[in-house]
Amino acid sequence: MFEDIVFNHWLWFVAALALIGFEVALPGVVFLWLAIASAIVGLIVLVLPDMSWEMQFVIFSVLSVVSVFAGRSYLKKHPLETEDTNLNRRGAQYIGHNYTLVSDMENGEGKIKIGDTLWKVRGEFAGKTGDVVHVTGSDGVILMVAEKLS
């Protein structure tokens, strides 16, 4: 099957570039490690051009697994920093602010309106529509509130 394909260093370098392209199109920090493994195999084949294609695939497979696990453990220990600490935590940006209830608190739950969005709130008090509440935390899409003391 692979007898007609020439497995030289250029094939591995082009594969590395294609994998980097996949990483850009489908970010997930997996294709990057595969691209590194492909580039290393390309360098090995450049030095040892008579290596069989079977051995090249074995080396690529081993390097891929090793680089993915090494990359994942590195990123777990050194997470990527972001300027927006509340990214993907929309409710966290409202903590510390005051809002007006748009519905009575029933069974510890009510609603507030922030911008054009209604947010479900939870608190340990009996608030009425129009009362001002203070957001103290968030639990997913539910904001935790306390009575705003005047």
Decide which of 19, 48, 77 is a domain's last residue. Answer: 77
**Long-range contacts of 108-113, Cβ-Cβ distance < 8 Å, separation of 24 or more:** 112/143, 112/145
pTM of the entire predicted model: 0.55
Q: Tens digit of pLDDT for each residue in 26-43? A: 877 789 999 999 999 999
Assigned domain for 3 exists: no
Check pLDDT > 80 for residue 44.
Answer: yes
Taking the C-alpha atoms of residue 126 and residue 106, their distance in angstroms, rounded to an integer, is 7
Q: Tens digit of pLDDT for each residue in 113-142? A: 998 999 999 998 888 999 999 999 988 889
For residues 30 and 20, is the Cβ–Cβ distance under 8 A?
Answer: no
Assigned domain for 4 exists: no
Assigned domain for 100 exists: yes
For helices 31-47 and 53-77, the axis angle rounded to 10 degrees is 140
Domain membership of residue 33 as a residue range: 9-77
Residues in CB range of 116: below 8 A, 6 or more apart = none
DSSP letter, residue 7:
-
Q: What is the CATH number of the domain that holds 94?
A: 2.40.50.140
Q: Tens digit of pLDDT for each residue in 66-115? A: 999 998 898 889 887 777 666 667 788 889 999 999 999 999 999 999 98
